[in-house]
Structure 1
Amino acid sequence: MPLKPFEAIVIGSGATGGVAAQTLAEAGVRVLVVETGPDLSAQEALGSEPSNSMRRVRGLLSGKHRLQAQHPGYWKHNPLLYADEQRYPYSTPNDQPFLWTQGRQVGGRSLTWGGITLRLSDLEFKAAERDGHGSSWPISHQDLDPHYSALERQFAVHGNRDGLAQLPDGCTTAPLSFTPEEEQLARDLQDSTDIKMIHSRGFSAHQPSAECPWPPSSSPGSSLSAALSTGRVEVLSGHLAERLLMNGDQSRARGVVVIDQRNGERMALEAALVVLCASTIASLRFLLLSEGSAPEGGFQDPSASLGRHLMDHVSTCRFFAVPSRSGRQPLQDQDPTSQLSGAGSFFLPFGSLPPQRDGLLPFSRGYGLWGAINRFDPPWWLKRNPECRLGFLIGHGEVLPSAQNRVTLSESVDRWGVPIPHISCRWGANETAMVAHMHKMMAEAIALGGGEIQPLTNLVKMPLIEPVVSNMEAMKAGAPPPGYYVHELGGAPMGSDENNSVVDAWNRLWRCPNVLVVDGSCWPSSAWQSPTLTMMALTRRACLQVLRPQSA
């Protein structure tokens, strides 16, 4: 297809791709956004019932969503937003499962994002200086603060100013109200000296309308829409970005090679700037294909660390019941804003300062517990005890970077002859100890609130699907395998020295500075907070810097 000349190519159209396109376009840059999947309408993307349930049945029976169905979000969203695993395969060692959730459509995984917006503190950015594990970030909270603030204002996210060292306050609007049962839990925890409960920060649940068909937490409902409104952005959907095109001395990229997903035809696209926003594993595959093995010679990675130190947040979940303080009817029928969402929930934000129990902490770094009560209850007649409300606590903890956890290129190829990613990742002793501590703190908090921990199948009647739900990873006692929490990070870390990092402090490939890597792959450590807001802040910062005349 004929394409007008572009000054920048953005690979990926999700959370970071939308911010990259908006930032560059609003500065006057002509941008092409390349997306592997289709460009769906809001109605096609969100779907409706019972059609979404029928798609789930087909996805499970066909094997297209065998792994992604493990994630609770699969049972909430339109299955069309979860990629066909047979069409986009990957491999793992037999004893190291990895649950990779792929969003192959315009908007990417921003269409299934939970919408929690947490800042990282310097306790996370500089953690390695404290405990010697891995490398610290070459930036601090101060470097990202203006970009955090700009994004929080643009998205009008909800949240309190809580004054916590481990969770910097942002430019938020008023928090959403707690449910009556959450208010009671907050009162019950007030006397605890080291368990603090705060309003979650982020987006409210989306209420589709003709004026606002897309979720504001998605790129089509926010940043990508703003980018397109400039008239300087075009989206090329249905094309997989395969690798970089390099100039003669491999010092700069002159564009990218893309593959038409309809017929496998390859096309070279040229631009002075390439911004990689494809999501961590897809970006690592792209970079590995673009390194020294490219036909005309690839970029150089002096650190030899590309693909290593893959991380995800280690997670575990507990469901519980508390006495209802709001009757039997679903609260959401009376108040749609009470639906579970990024802002419609709460946090126990221990962070890097988790409470000590039974002596010294047996692990490094920290975690938070995200929770909600009475935000996802089924009709009363489906409950085992109609007089109770349902709650959950989910821990997500920082994972120590390990060189053994990595993405490489498999000997197997996809239908276009491109090597698929091989993902090798497992939890270590530190993560196992952290999960045990999470369980102790969950039990303590729930008991203080007068709740009772039970398996979800003991709380809710589930005709027909109970065997499926019982075998889901979220129902198991321990931590689900890596990838489950959909927060994969690392593999192309930023740093201050090309000998131990893949990109510099401005997210530029060390020896190919007109390529920016801004999604989760550039993280040198995982922190414990939900990563999307920080990814977007890094993107905005890197794109503004590359526009400055003095930027090399």
Structure 2
Amino acid sequence: MNKEMYIDESSEVYDAIVIGSGVTGGWAAKELTEKGMKTLMIERGRVVEHRKDYISEAVPPWEYANRTKVAKELTDEQYKIQKQCYAFHDGTKHFFGNDKDYPYSTEEGTDFSWIRANQLGGKSLLWHRQSYRMSAFDFEANKKDGHGNDWPIRYKDLAPWYEYVEKFVGISGAAANLPQLPDSVFLPPFEMTKPELDFTAKMAEAEPDKPVIISRCAHLTKPQKIHLEMGRAQCMARNECQKGCSLGAYFSTQSATLPAAAKTGNLYIAPNSVVESLIYDEKTNRVKGVRVIDNDTLKQREYYAKVVFLCASTLGTTQIMLNSTSKQFPNGIANSSGVLGHYLMDHNYNALVTASIDGYEEEYYSGRRPASLYIPNFHYEPGRYHKDFKRGYALAGSASRADWQSMGSMDGFGKSFKSLLHNPGGWGIGLQAQGEMLPRHDNQVALHSTKKDKWGIPQLNINCKWSDNENAMMQSALEVASSMMEKACFNNIEQRILGQPPGLAIHEVGTARMGRDPKDSILNGYNQAHDVPNLFVTDGASFCSTGVGNPSLTFMAITARAVDYAVKEFKSGRL
């Protein structure tokens, strides 16, 4: 990255503007620039340089004042929401948004935890990297059971784009030949522990419809030429991921898509630029530019382009669209259908089952792998639905031995206790559900009527809650996971409903959904706004349903596909 790439004021009309720099924004920039489009990436946060700005990488826990715990007075003042995230600690907090600066509200009786990472690279620096294709069943579910609108695309439309992005990203995993979980282009999988291998074998006999596989994750177990050329290296299983990885061993904007885009010479970046709204030209029915407010000085400026890609995250994108009003679109740009902001969804992770495993005292493992056990959705079509709910869930977890971190909360003192901390404890296993959330019109986000943030932009007001369907799903997950552990002869089985609100899965989707009919959707099957032809939305806002698997791989595939379409339309003169 060179300094000439970063801009402040500019009167130039770019071929394309990309708003956001996370997983989707990075992919949009890569694809646009590689296709010859002079592209401006707008990022509301600061610049984070690969390697240089991973300030806590390789710093061991004992070198932090509170062993990576963040002081209570700091979390209470600045990180009340962010501290709920699994990845939040003293070595990663600088990659999270400050809740004081990013306020939002929720309707009475509801709760939503909006996890934010406003810097170059966005949440691609913090994501958990689990990477799954959606299946034919996922794309057909809305039409078959009547919940939500019909996806305007099918698995076959996205399959070649999944393959395209997987080769660049690098996905570790093993082929399983399952209809509900299509295989990817895989690098070698991470290894299971001995108890996990035995559990997998037992379940193959006892529960053949619930196969246990190793999870699929965006880590380079065996880098290929395409990865090495980007300066990326093999994953060392260090568990340093959310601090930033200088090896580039996991996929992020910084390690992969951003350097690829920069290499073309067609990329420009406007950091510290908070997008206030899109500039709409009623005469041409096109977006002609973007209004931004400087993150620090609060000075206003504008950037112009012929095509705009919104990749600001589901809620960020929706906020921008709702705040982009005109005579033609008084309720938000491209919102003639009135569904903008509605159908907000997230995954439900609220069921957890744990158990202890006897034996295996001579077994251990090397490293801290980023993969887990994974049991794909077994309620994947209407004929397989549970009697108490629609759609389904997956289970994920791992078996490991207790170590000094978990023993740190045990009672004890003196030499014997210190000796205990030097040795691994017993084996345990945990399985947590990942359930689908039905699309519901009542789950929505809107602009608050009076409250604004420090940039003068109306805050979001969120109304989103779990339904009886999602709650029944979690009860089933407890029963199924417990039954599997009983059949495996595990002990001390414990069930927990975690009570987490929507948002904490960080898989929010659905608020500017795709669709076949402009009357009930915002976008067409190429993520192009029905109402405004040169506006594309390729982040999670475009989803019609959550599916069961983690969405990031699908974000990447639909972005690459949308850019391919947009550039062809642009060069043909139709945009």
Q: Is TM (by shorter chain) over 0.5?
A: yes
- Among 237, 243, 247, the residue aligned to 2:277: 243
- 185-194 vs 319-328, which deviates more? 319-328
Moved more, 35-44 or 260-269: 35-44
Is residue 54 of structure 2 the alignment partner of residue 27 of structure 1? no
Note if contact 2:402-2:427 (Cα within 8 Å) is conserved in structure 1: no
Partner of 1:395: 433
1:322 partner letter: I
Check 1:84–1:454 CA distance in 2 against 1; reply closer, same or farther (3 A cut).
farther
**2-structure distance, mates of 1:436, 1:498:** 37
- 2:342 aligned to 288, 305, 308, which one? 308
Within 2, Cα distance between the matches of 1:404 and 1:453? 40
1:243-282 maps to which residues of 2 (within 5 A)? 243-249=277-283, 251-282=285-316
Deviation at 1:485, TM superposition (A): 0.8
Question: Which letter does structure 1 place at the counterpart of 2:435?
Answer: G
Q: What does the per-residue CA deviation read over 1:255-275, in whole Å, with 9 as the maximum and x for residues that have no partner? A: 101110111111110001111
SS in 1 for 2:533: strand
CA separation of 1:77 and 1:490: change in aligned 2, threshold 3 A: farther
Deviation at 1:292, TM superposition (A): 3.7
Amino acid at match of 2:300: R
1:165–1:434 distance in 2 versus 1, CA, 3 Å: same
Tell whether the 8 Å contact from 1:149 to 1:170 is kept in structure 2 after alignment: yes
Q: Hey, what does 1:114 align to over in structure 2?
A: 128
Q: Give the secondary-structure state (helix, strand or coil) at the position aligned to 2:291.
A: strand
Output aligned runs, 1:67-82, within 5 Å: 67-75=81-89, 78-82=92-96
Pick aligned residue for 2:119 from 84, 91, 105: 105
Hey, what does 2:333 align to over in structure 1? 299
Question: Taking structure 1 as reference, are residues 112 and 327 closer, same or farther at Cα in structure 2, changes over 3 Å only?
Answer: farther
Gapped regions of structure 2 (runs ≥ 5): 1-7, 220-234, 411-419
User: 1:107-136, CA deviations, whole angstroms, 9 ceiling, x for partnerless residues?
Assistant: 101111111110011111010222111112
Change (3 A) 1:177 1:328: closer
Describe the SS at the equivalent of 1:275.
strand
Distance 2:476 2:245 in 1: 46
Which residue does 2:481 correspond to in 1? Answer: 442
Q: What letter is aligned with 2:53?
A: E
Q: Which moved more, 1:377-386 or 1:480-489?
A: 377-386
Q: Map of 1:462-541 to 2, 5 A cutoff?
A: 477-541=497-561
The residue correspondences of 1:327-476 to structure 2 (distance < 5 A) are 327=362, 331=365, 335-336=366-367, 339-341=368-370, 344-353=371-380, 361-374=387-400, 377-378=403-404, 381-382=407-408, 387-410=425-448, 411-452=450-491
Report sequence identity in percent.
29
Task: Extract unaligned runs of 5+ from structure 1.
Answer: 456-474
Moved more, 146-155 or 372-381: 372-381
1:141-173: CA deviations, max 9, x gaps?
111111100111112211111111111111112
Shift >6 Å, 4+ stretches: 208-211, 293-298, 354-357
Secondary structure of 2:355's match?
strand
**SS of structure 2 residue aligned to 1:72:** coil
Q: Is 1:194–1:355's contact at 8 Å kept on the other side of the alignment?
A: no
- Structure 2 residue identity aligned to 1:299: I
Pick closer, same or farther for the CA change 1:476–1:256 going to 2, 3 Å: farther
The residue that corresponds to 1:44 in the other structure is: 53
Q: Does 1:216 align with 2:250?
A: yes
Q: Does the 8 A contact of 1:34 with 1:239 survive in 2?
A: yes
2:506 corresponds to which letter in structure 1?
Answer: V
Equivalent residue for 1:191? 205
User: Residues 328 and 187 (structure 1 numbering): CA distance in 2 closer, same or farther, change over 3 Å?
Assistant: closer
1:55 Cα shift?
7.3
| Residue 321 (structure 1) aligned to one of 356, 372, 397 | 356
Change beyond 3 A, Cα 1:68–1:105: same
Q: What is the CA–CA distance in structure 2 between the aligned matches of 1:76 and 1:326, rounded to whole Å?
A: 33
Secondary structure, counterpart of 1:394 in structure 2: strand
User: In 2, distance between residues paired with 1:354 and 1:414?
Assistant: 43
Contact 2:348 2:435 in 1 (8 A): yes
**TM superposition shift of 1:497:** 1.1
SS in 2 for 1:44: coil
Decide which moves more: 35-44 or 181-190. Answer: 35-44
RMSD: 2.8
How far residue 294 of structure 1 moved from its aligned partner, in angstroms, is 9.7
Q: For residue 7 of structure 1, report the CA deviation from its aligned partner.
A: 1.3
Match of 1:459 in 2: none
Per the alignment, residue 470 of structure 1 pairs with: none
1:371-430 deviation digits (Å, cap 9, x = unpaired): 112288545854869541233212111111111100000120001211011111001111
Aligned to 1:128: 142
Shift of 1:281: 0.6
Q: Contact 2:399/2:430 (CA < 8 Å) preserved in 1?
A: yes
Whether the aligned pair in 1 keeps the contact of 2:45 and 2:272 (CA below 8 Å) is yes
Give the superposition deviation at 1:58: 6.1
**Count of equivalent residues:** 524
Query: d(CA) in 2 for partners of 1:376 and 1:140?
Result: 44
The answer as to whether partners of 1:255 and 1:269 remain within 8 angstroms in 2 is: yes
Alignment of 1:87 with 2:101, yes or no, is yes
Q: CA deviation at 1:547?
A: 0.8
* Aligned match of 1:153: 167
What's the CA shift for 1:181?
A: 2.1
User: C-alpha distance in 2, partners of 1:130/1:497?
Assistant: 17
Q: Is the 8 A contact 1:312 1:485 kept in 2?
A: yes
Inter-partner Cα distance in structure 1 for 2:473 and 2:400: 27
Q: Please name the residue that 2:227 is paired with.
A: none
Give me the whole-angstrom Cα distance separating, in 2, the residues matched to 1:478 and 1:8.
43
3-state SS of the aligned residue for 2:534? strand
Letter in 1 for 2:256: S
Question: How far has the Cα of 1:223 moved from its partner?
Answer: 1.2
The question of whether the paired residues in 1 share the 8 Å contact of 2:337 and 2:521 is answered with: yes
Q: Does 1:288 align with 2:331?
A: no
SS of the equivalent of 1:347 reads: strand
Distance in 1 separating the partners of 2:460 and 2:110: 14
TM-score norm. by structure 2 comes to: 0.85
Partner SS, residue 374 of structure 1: strand
State the alpha-carbon separation in 2 of the partners of residues 266 and 493 from structure 1: 30
When residues 70 and 294 of structure 1 are mapped into structure 2, their CA distance, relative to the original with a 3 A threshold, is farther
State the Cα distance separating 1:227 from its structure 2 match: 1.1
- Say which is worse superposed, 493-502 or 175-184, in terms of deviation: 175-184
How many Å separate the matches in 2 of 1:69 and 1:401? 28
Give the superposition deviation at 1:203: 2.5
Aligned with 1:56 (options 70, 73, 78): 70
- Give the conservation status (yes or no) of the 8 Å contact 1:10–1:275: yes
Partner of 1:463: none
